Amino acid sequence: MGRLKKLVAGVGGSEIAEAALVIPIFFMLMIGIYWFGRAFNVYATINHAAREGARFGTAQTCATCGTPNAPPTPDNIAAQVKQALQASHLDPGQAAFPTSPPVRNACIGGAPVACSVIGGAGNPQVCVRLNVLLQAPASLPAGSGTPACGVSVEFQYPYQFFFPFTSLNMQKIMLNAGVQMKGDY
């Protein structure tokens, strides 16, 4: 009779039932951390690629551009972006022209400068603007100096979540990369 009481009053199977409820939630949390971490990694990588392109664009001369002592061209800048994306194992062919790039004005004259759209056939589609008036950060105090001239590099890169049983599964988002860098011309 004592054995029967123990079997009826026992809670030995409750751990299994609790584990069956908790383990899927735990794995969903781990998968979410992984995919959001990967999205942040891709975002940091495309911003690094844009920064590398802008840094290259601010160079006074380019020794590898064909003509000695020639300034970098938008094609050379896009090649630097492509190289940085490939170094991080991202497909440069997926980089797309930004849907609405911000208007940038020329350093001299103030007229809007159109993007030099570079890309196609496995190359990144990048918006490159040379010799543009850079926008000063809003945190600078008024009268802190004249605005700087430089290079602007902008593009978008797609990222797709794989997050089963949620509305984010197979959801594609466009990550924006945009860098302005001061350079003397």
> How many angstroms separate the CA atoms of 125 and 120, rounded?
6
Is the residue at 150 inside a domain? yes
Is the residue at 173 inside a domain? yes
The residue that leads in pLDDT, 69 or 170, is 170
151, 183 contact by CB (below 8 A): yes
> How many angstroms separate the CA atoms of 108 and 130, rounded?
12
Is the residue at 6 inside a domain? no
From the list 155, 103, 154, the residue with the least C-alpha distance to 133 is: 103
Is the residue at 4 inside a domain? no
Q: What is the mean pLDDT of residues 165-170?
A: 75
Q: What is the mean pLDDT of residues 98-106?
A: 78
Q: What is the mean pLDDT of residues 19-25?
A: 90
Count of the separate structural domains present in the chain: 1
What's the confidence (pLDDT) of residue 6?
63
Q: Dig out the tokens for 130 from the structure.
A: 């040379």
Q: pLDDT over 90 for what percent of the chain?
A: 25
Is the residue at 113 inside a domain? yes
Is the residue at 8 inside a domain? no
Is the residue at 7 inside a domain? no
Is the residue at 90 inside a domain? yes
- Which range marks the domain in which residue 98 is found? 14-182
